[in-house]
Amino acid sequence: MIYPLRLKRQDYFFNSLEQYSIKPCFVKEEGLTKLENNKIIYIFIYNSLMRQKPIVFLSACLLFFVCLIIGFKIALIKPLWGDEIFCQTHDLKFCNSLEIIGGACVNEFEINNSPLFYLVQKGVFGLLHYSFPYSWTTWETALIHDPKAQIILRLGSIVFFSLSITLIYFFFAYYHSTRWGIYALLLTLSSPLVLLYSAEARYYALWFFLTTAQCLLFLKILQNSDKGKLTWSLLISVHVLLSLTVIVSLFQILAFSLILFLFKERKPRCYLFLTLIPVSICLYYNSYRRFFPLAFPQNPWELILVNFPIEQIIFLIGFFILVYLRKYDRKLLKGSKECLYLSFLMLFSTLIMLLHFKIISLLKPVAVPSVYHRHFFHLVPIATISTTFCAISFFQWSKARPFVRTLIDCILMIILTSQCISFFQMFLYYKTASH
């Protein structure tokens, strides 16, 4: 007998049934999902999964507030330093909002003149009726210990980074399982650069947040069989905000749009707002940017490996080799495309960014390196999301292979442990340097 049952988020519901070793037989007709076999089991599991959703939502809210508290603690420990102070005394103090939006208000040492971060800072200052009371001295003496200034200047960055962490946890816990939400959370928090740039009065946390949202919306579009107009609208908004945040987001916007054009939506009109307008905004602000001299590091791969660790890269390569060797295994191929696309996006956008900085360094070379790992901080959420999706695909494929599943568990623990060690090494180094 066939039993009609209305289900929301059908695709994710049936994906989650796999963890119970149940394969539902269903067809879609007039908005209904018709289930065969045991109606009671399906309804029981459906209700059990739906009861878990409020718990995931509440835990995500709690996580957000915990991240805020930790962010405030980090902000109080770290004194304001050179770039943060220089940004306040040169970019924000003498420029009004219209000059910032116009793009012409930027100091000679700034690598980015996109206005969104500066407008957020202006908004926070205006809301709290705060004015930065310090003047610029020199780069060597640019350290300020002022709890009020440390909190207010870094408030926007703390909120954006807390939102990023919460989004990553919520996405995997809601659409897959709490286990994967926790793993993605720990993998993100154990990144060494999180300690340095999660609470800093610069645009890095905002870039981190928008890249996280971009990746998750991209994955949802790939997984949904419908048009997903709301998701597309949100992705368009994220692309516009990215173009207003950092000029080099141009490369990741082009990379994401290319994948969507090749594998999802071929209508050119869809890319007027998704790609053309954000790219035009990036090019506009790039025309006002002053190309100060850059020094490219001797080993540019270190810039990437700090944000996208070699262990995760090897794990992804191993997964793609397995996919190629078992290319007729539909269960393995099911989740591989998301990992493949995200890895391609990371490789494509990063290589173009490196080429961009290299060209500038050749045109105006200087002796002191000025391209740092923080300029690739947006790779951290891409690394976390692609690695977690890869692990989920591995687990679904190895359900009937206990030894393989145990081996994958060990590899995932090694990846997390290695990253935690790097995090504590960075923590000890920073603690020693601060004293």
Q: pLDDT tens digits, residue range 15-65?
A: 444 443 444 444 333 333 444 444 444 444 444 445 567 888 999 999 999
Choice among 253-262, 298-307, 388-397 with the minimum mean pLDDT: 298-307
Backbone angles phi, psi at 183, to 5 degrees: -65, -45
Cβ-proximal residues to 310 (8 Å cutoff; 6+ apart), any chain: none
Backbone angles phi, psi at 294, to 5 degrees: -120, 145
Mean pLDDT of the 253-262 span? 88
Mean pLDDT of the 232-257 span? 92
Residue 85 scores a pLDDT above 60: yes
Residue 227 scores a pLDDT above 90: no
pLDDT attached to residue 101: 86
Q: What is the C-alpha separation between 337 and 178, in angstroms, rounded?
A: 23
Confidence tier at 184 by pLDDT (50, 70, 90): very high
Cβ-proximal residues to 200 (8 Å cutoff; 6+ apart), any chain: 78, 84, 154, 157
Q: Where are the domains of the chain?
A: 3-41, 78-145, 291-435
Q: What is the C-alpha separation between 342 and 320, in angstroms, rounded?
A: 12
pLDDT attached to residue 425: 79
Q: CA-based Rg of the chain, rounded to a whole angstrom?
A: 23
Mean pLDDT of the 243-272 span? 87
pLDDT attached to residue 246: 92
Of residues 232 and 288, the one with the higher pLDDT is 232
Instruction: For the chain, give the mean pLDDT.
Output: 79
Q: Which residue in this structure is represented by tokens 């009020």?
A: 148
pLDDT attached to residue 366: 58
Distances (CA, A) of 301 to 51, 159, 195, 351, 354: 46, 30, 21, 10, 9
Cβ-proximal residues to 40 (8 Å cutoff; 6+ apart), any chain: none
pLDDT attached to residue 12: 42
pLDDT attached to residue 33: 44
pLDDT attached to residue 392: 87
What is the three-class DSSP state of 33? Answer: strand
Choice among 176-180, 354-358, 369-373 with the minimum mean pLDDT: 369-373
Confidence tier at 302 by pLDDT (50, 70, 90): confident
Residue 363 scores a pLDDT above 60: yes
Mean pLDDT of the 214-234 span? 81
pLDDT attached to residue 330: 65
Of residues 195 and 29, the one with the higher pLDDT is 195
Retrieve residue 316's tokens: 């992804």
pLDDT attached to residue 241: 96
Of residues 266 and 235, the one with the higher pLDDT is 235
Residue 368 scores a pLDDT above 60: no
Residue 153 scores a pLDDT above 90: yes
Retrieve residue 335's tokens: 């989740």
pLDDT attached to residue 35: 45
| Predicted model pTM | 0.84
pLDDT attached to residue 18: 44
Mean pLDDT of the 290-296 span? 63
Q: What is the pLDDT of residues 404-422, one digit of tens each?
A: 888 888 989 999 998 888 8
Instruction: Pick from 152-166, 217-231, 380-394 the range whose average pLDDT is largest.
Output: 152-166
Helix residue spans in 133-203 (DSSP H): 147-175, 178-189, 192-197
pLDDT attached to residue 243: 95
pLDDT attached to residue 175: 86
Residue 434 scores a pLDDT above 90: no
Residue 163 scores a pLDDT above 70: yes
pLDDT attached to residue 435: 52
